[in-house]
């Protein structure tokens, strides 16, 4: 059975190690993991659609391999708004 593992790009920090852990657990359970992650505009601008290109193209994807696994790098609509994900938030009670 194929299983989708949605993550951020397993490039740096603890993400590669955690992805390896999750993948190994799934494989040990007899599953076939497939990765999908957002590829930032700064790395692959051709995958995303900035506001000035909204009616001219679609969000793209690039099928690659990560440590022998099928991996899908995905673009985004209006990546220039990504900064809003990192705005300060009020603490939750």
* Per-residue model confidence as pLDDT tens digits over 25-68: 999 999 999 999 999 888 888 888 888 888 888 889 999 999 99
Is 20 domain-assigned?
A: yes
Range of the domain at 9: 2-83
Q: Is residue 34 part of a domain?
A: yes
Q: Please check whether residue 90 lies inside any domain of the structure.
A: no
Instruction: Tell me how many domains the chain contains.
Output: 1
Mean per-residue pLDDT, 12-35: 96
Structural domain includes residue 91: no
**How confident is the model at residue 82, as a pLDDT?**
76
93 found inside a domain: no
Q: How far is Cα 77 from Cα 72, in angstroms, rounded to an integer?
A: 16
Phi, psi of 21 (to 5 degrees): -65, -50
Asked whether residue 89 is assigned to any structural domain, the reply reads no
Distances (CA, A) of 29 to 1, 32, 83: 10, 9, 38
Q: Is 47 within the bounds of a domain?
A: yes
Do the beta carbons of residue 39 and residue 74 sit within 8 Å? Answer: yes
For residue 88, being part of any structural domain is answered with no
């Amino acid at each position: 059975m194929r299983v989708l593992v949605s993550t951020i790009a397993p490039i740096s920090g603890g993400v590669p190690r955690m992805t390896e852990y999750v993948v190994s657990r799934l494989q040990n359970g007899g599953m076939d993991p497939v990765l999908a992650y957002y590829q930032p505009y700064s790395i692959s601008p051709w995958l995303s659609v900035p506001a000035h290109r909204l009616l001219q193209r679609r969000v793209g994807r690039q099928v690659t391999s990560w440590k022998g696994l099928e991996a899908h790098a995905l673009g985004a609509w209006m990546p220039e708004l990504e900064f809003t994900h990192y705005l300060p938030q009020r603490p939750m009670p």
